[in-house]
Amino acid sequence: MTRTNLHGLLISDFTIKTLANYLDNIDEIPKLHTHVVLIRQLIQILTPQDAPSLSSKPDFAVVWTRPDVSVPAFSKILHFQSAPVATLMSEVDAFAEAVAFLGEHTNAVFVPSWTLPSYIRGNGMLDMKNAGGAANAIMRMNLRLTEQLEPHSNIFVLNAQRWIEVAGKLACNPKLWYMGKIAFSNDVFREAARDIKAGLRGMRGLARKLVIVDLDDTLWGGIVGDVGWQQLNLGGHNHIGEAYVDFQLSLKDLTRRGIILGIVSKNEESVALEAIKNHPEMVLRVDDFAGWRINWGDKANNIVQLTASLNLGLESVVFIDDNPVERARVREALPEVFVPEWPKDKMLYQSTLLDLRCFDVPGISSEDLERTQMYLAQKRRDQSQRNITSMDDWLRTLETTVTVEEFSKTNALRVVQLLNKTNQMNHATRRMTLQELNIWIAHKNRHLWAFRVADKFGDAGITGIISLNHDGEVGTITDLVLSCRVMGRRIEETMLFVLINFARRVPLVSLKAEFVPTEKNKPCLEFWRRSPFQEERTNLFTFDLSLPYEVPSCIVLQEGTAVPSGKTLTHLTH
Amino acid sequence: MWLDLRSHLIETEQKMQGKEMIERDRVFRLIYGVIERLNEQRKPDERIKGDSDSVLMGSGGSLDSLGLVNLIVATEEAVEQEFGTPITLSENMEYGDERSPFHTISSLADHMMLLLGESRNDENEPSRFIDFRFHNKNSG
């Protein structure tokens, strides 16, 4: 997934050019170029001679078929003939197998679930009763399909029924079918295209990570500075108050998906925080927010400051404000920030939030789930730093433990996240899917280690990776990636120590690291220049392995318990 | 009395012309709305202009057969929603012919006005749409 314009393959048994047109032309990133393959059966494209499209190695594929074509037994059910469930399921399995094969030839496969037009009522009241009903059978088929494809990390079954519901009763207009063999209306394809693009953004690490909210008339009803927290409209026996509570509940739910919350509001900070702490109906409390800027300054400026303090980029931010003037200001000043149009009607706040596509990710790691807590730990860490003058003294007080793990299935998701999301401390900025990484690491001379960092304030989870590719006596450091949350705490040096220790045991004679500059990774270059590596020429750093290299004294280094790949030497930490 | 009848006829004709203009304006607005939605599927330099003279089909036309199908179905759906009256544009698909009702936005609007008038007459309701072929013949 490294090309600017992604190349996609749309495989379907109906005319799907409209989806291709939407994918190629709607004004959302990533830019796509799609190619349509019309098939009768998916099996048609699975051999190289029949599949010239696959030889071009598309970045993604969409397989959208009609259930009665892909699963012939289902066609019988539609015509009120009997078909054993076992036959139905085995045909679904065969289809899933074909999709899985396709998944081996592309980085991502999207499979819209099977649907039926609303005018097919089947057996009426009997249609859900048992597998003889079309509605019952199609639910079983979709469930079976998702089960069969679940182990494949790059294959995603998308809920097409939602697109049908958005499009309404004309989602499957028979006229489109008779005139153009088009199975769905434009609105269905439009919705599908937007979901697929959201998925592709998520796979490229472009999902939003921080939601910044306003307070007055956004998180609660009323102006807290005017009426006091006791008089805010929030909860209680009031339809608007109830809507605010539900909106807060959905914001809190986002934190369980790895998204952090912040506040930017024009208010007196003490007054606003008093409301958050004391109002009995508040769902979100101070500890639910990773940070805030509550003052009378420009909101755009405050967003920049808050985002920087959380070590995030503006392209990670969603800003929610009821005031259209503030929204317009932030949109104009900070085009990277996503500012959704927000409804005037408070009762639509929650549904508008739930409808946002900007949070889609291909997986959720344990680090994601703990992200807010990690930021709160960082706050406490920063507070403790202010009380100690020497940096080294402060680092020692943190009691930092670094645990090294070999790359494995257990940490793969997080490793891919770090590769794709980290900008500043990223030596080569290689953006890779899990499938691409698996292919890269399969070579016997390539190694990758993940680093988990914890201290007395909390566990930051897996926050660093380093990788090595060696040939002969020289090893090349391919990746050096560290989350900005733990940068500057000697984790970088510890990661190098582990790699150097391994390289000596291979044994290698020297290491080289060719730094790949980007607009954002200057901190990594500064690290190399501070390190004992010699800069032989611009951006090329080398290290003679006969020279000493010690683990930083403020770090306790230990080996982790992740399932080893079997090709790495043990005792990395000694 | 003759003068009264004549002034009544003039007034009626003026009202009918005014009504025709209003209905025609609604039809154009509807088509432009449909085109705007369809343009989301098109490259920026291939988007259809919201102009009555924009050529849709035939020489210099913007639509391929898939585009025409999408235009027809989207327009039919929009008409039913806007006017509460179904019309069937698909029976008049004449690809590539410059006399086709789908040649320009303007010719499509004329065709829709005609079908709307027929549709209302078929329902035996007091027509909100005038059969302008008949009306124009007499007034000409």
Residue A279 has a pLDDT of 94
Q: Environment class of residue A345 by beta-carbon count within 10 Å: exposed (0-12), middle (13-18) or buried (19+)?
A: exposed
Residue A237 has a pLDDT of 83
Residue A567 has a pLDDT of 41
Name residue B133's amino acid. Answer: R
User: A109 - beta bridge partners?
Assistant: A61, A155
Chain A residues with CB inside 8 Å of B69's CB? Answer: 176, 179-180, 182
Q: How many interchain CB pairs under 8 A, A with B?
A: 47
Give the mutation candidate from A25, A187, A194 for the B interface (greatest B CB count, under 10 A). A25
Residue A183 has a pLDDT of 95
**List of residues 6+ apart from A452 with CB closer than 8 A:** A402, A403, A404, A405, A459, A460, A461, A462, A463, A560
SS3 A294: strand
Interchain contact, A25 vs B41, CB within 8 Å: yes
Residue B104 lies in a domain: yes
Which two three-digit tokens encode residue A519? 């607009």
Distance in angstroms (rounded) separating the CA atoms of residues B61 and B39: 14
Which two three-digit tokens encode residue A340? 């959704």
Nearest to A349, CA basis, from A243, A259, A261: A243
Distance in angstroms (rounded) separating the CA atoms of residues A216 and A40: 56
Distance in angstroms (rounded) separating the CA atoms of residues B9 and A352: 55
User: A449 - beta bridge partners?
Assistant: A406, A466
Distance in angstroms (rounded) separating the CA atoms of residues A448 and A480: 10
Distance in angstroms (rounded) separating the CA atoms of residues A99 and B96: 40
Chain B residues with CB inside 8 Å of A25's CB? Answer: 40-44
Distance in angstroms (rounded) separating the CA atoms of residues A268 and A183: 56
Distance in angstroms (rounded) separating the CA atoms of residues A469 and A445: 6
Q: Given a cut of 50, is residue B139 above it in pLDDT?
A: no
Residue B129 lies in a domain: yes
Interchain contact, B40 vs A25, CB within 8 Å: yes
Per-residue CA distances from A245 to A248, A270, A349 (Å)? 5, 22, 10
Interchain contact, A17 vs B66, CB within 8 Å: yes
Compare all CA atoms of chain A with the CA of B88 and give the residue at the minimum distance.
Answer: A175
Q: Give the per-residue SS3 of A335-367.
A: CCCECCCCCCCHHHHHHHHHCCCCCCCCCCCHH
The per-residue pLDDT string of chain A (574 residues; one tens digit each, 9 = 90 and over) reads 444 688 999 999 999 999 999 999 998 888 998 888 877 766 666 655 555 566 677 889 999 999 999 999 999 999 999 999 999 999 999 999 999 988 888 889 999 999 999 999 988 998 998 888 999 999 999 999 999 999 998 999 999 999 999 999 889 999 999 999 999 999 999 999 999 999 999 988 889 999 999 999 999 999 888 888 999 999 988 899 999 999 999 999 999 888 999 999 998 899 999 999 999 999 999 999 999 999 988 999 999 999 988 888 899 999 999 999 899 999 999 999 999 999 999 999 999 999 999 999 887 777 777 777 777 777 777 767 666 556 777 788 888 999 999 999 889 989 998 998 888 899 999 988 888 899 999 999 999 999 999 988 788 889 999 999 998 899 999 999 998 778 888 999 999 999 999 999 999 999 999 999 998 888 899 999 999 999 999 999 999 999 999 888 889 998 876 444 444 434 555 5
Residue B99 lies in a domain: yes
ipTM: 0.77
Q: Scanning the structure block, which residue is given the tokens 């900007």?
A: A358
Residue A53 has a pLDDT of 61
Q: What H or E segment, with its residue span, contains residue A305?
A: helix A299-309
Nearest to B62, CA basis, from B47, B73, B79: B47
Interchain contact, B43 vs A25, CB within 8 Å: yes
What CATH number does the domain containing B44 carry?
1.10.1200
Interchain contact, A185 vs B72, CB within 8 Å: no
CB B116 within 8 A of CB B83: yes
Name residue B90's amino acid. Answer: S
How many residues are present in chain A? Answer: 574
What chain A holds in terms of domains, given with CATH numbers, is 6-203 (3.40.50.1110), 210-354 (3.40.50.1000), 388-559 (3.40.630.30)
Interchain contact, B42 vs A25, CB within 8 Å: yes
Residue A182 has a pLDDT of 94
Distance in angstroms (rounded) separating the CA atoms of residues A285 and A244: 14
Per-residue CA distances from A507 to A66, A419, A510 (Å)? 57, 27, 9
- Would you call the peptide bond into A507 cis, given omega within 30 degrees of 0 as the criterion? yes
DSSP letter for B48, please: P
Residue B111 lies in a domain: yes
Residue B21 has a pLDDT of 73
Task: Provide the domain limits for residue B56.
Answer: 23-135
Residue A366 has a pLDDT of 73
Nearest to A377, CA basis, from A303, A314, A319, A454: A454
Nearest to A18 among B70, B72, B77 (CB): B70
Per-residue CA distances from A470 to A427, A478, A506, A546 (Å)? 17, 10, 9, 17
User: A402 - beta bridge partners?
Assistant: A453, A557
For chain B, how far is it from start to end, CA to CA, in angstroms? 25
Q: How many CB atoms lie within 10 A of CB A78?
A: 16
Backbone angles phi, psi at A104, to 5 degrees: -80, -15
Antiparallel, parallel or unpaired: β A540-544 and A510-514: antiparallel
Interchain contact, A173 vs B43, CB within 8 Å: no
Residue B36 lies in a domain: yes
Give the mutation candidate from B72, B73, B92 for the A interface (greatest A CB count, under 10 A). B73
How many residues are present in chain B? Answer: 140
Q: Does A34 touch chain B (CB under 8 A)?
A: no
Q: Is B54 left (phi over 0), alpha (psi -120 to 50) or beta?
A: beta
CA dihedral A187, A189, A193, A195 (to 10 degrees): 70
- Would you call the peptide bond into A30 cis, given omega within 30 degrees of 0 as the criterion? yes
Residue B3 lies in a domain: no
Nearest to B77 among A18, A24, A170 (CB): A170
Residue B18 lies in a domain: no
Distance in angstroms (rounded) separating the CA atoms of residues A208 and A317: 6
Nearest to A180 among B38, B40, B69 (CB): B69
Chain A residues with CB inside 8 Å of B87's CB? Answer: none
Distance in angstroms (rounded) separating the CA atoms of residues B30 and B83: 10
CB A23 within 8 A of CB A8: yes
Exposure class string for B92-110: b at 16+ Cβ within 10 A, else e: ebeeeeeebbbbbbbbbbb
Name residue A155's amino acid. Answer: I
Distance in angstroms (rounded) separating the CA atoms of residues B11 and A570: 100
Residue A429 has a pLDDT of 93
Q: Does A184 touch chain B (CB under 8 A)?
A: no
Q: How many CB atoms lie within 10 A of CB A149?
A: 20
Q: What H or E segment, with its residue span, contains residue B76?
A: helix B65-83
Number of domains in chain B: 1
Residue A45 has a pLDDT of 64
Residue A390 has a pLDDT of 67
Q: Does A182 touch chain B (CB under 8 A)?
A: yes
Nearest to A339, CA basis, from A326, A350, A354: A326
Which two three-digit tokens encode residue A152? 């494949």
CB B135 within 8 A of CB B102: no
Interchain contact, B69 vs A26, CB within 8 Å: no
Distance in angstroms (rounded) separating the CA atoms of residues A36 and B60: 26
Backbone angles phi, psi at A457, to 5 degrees: -95, -15
Q: How many CB atoms lie within 10 A of CB A227?
A: 13
Chain B residues with CB inside 8 Å of A190's CB? Answer: 40
Nearest to B74 among A22, A24, A186 (CB): A186
Residue B7 lies in a domain: no
Q: Does A514 touch chain B (CB under 8 A)?
A: no
Confidence of residue B1 (pLDDT cuts 50, 70, 90): low
Distance in angstroms (rounded) separating the CA atoms of residues A162 and A539: 50
Distance in angstroms (rounded) separating the CA atoms of residues A503 and A449: 13
Interchain contact, B90 vs A17, CB within 8 Å: no
Give the mutation candidate from A186, A187, A194 for the B interface (greatest B CB count, under 10 A). A186
Give the mutation candidate from A5, A10, A12, A18 for the B interface (greatest B CB count, under 10 A). A18
**List of residues 6+ apart from A505 with CB closer than 8 A:** A569, A571
Long-range pairs, B121-130, Cβ under 8 A, ≥24 = B123/B85, B128/B23, B129/B23, B130/B16, B130/B19, B130/B20
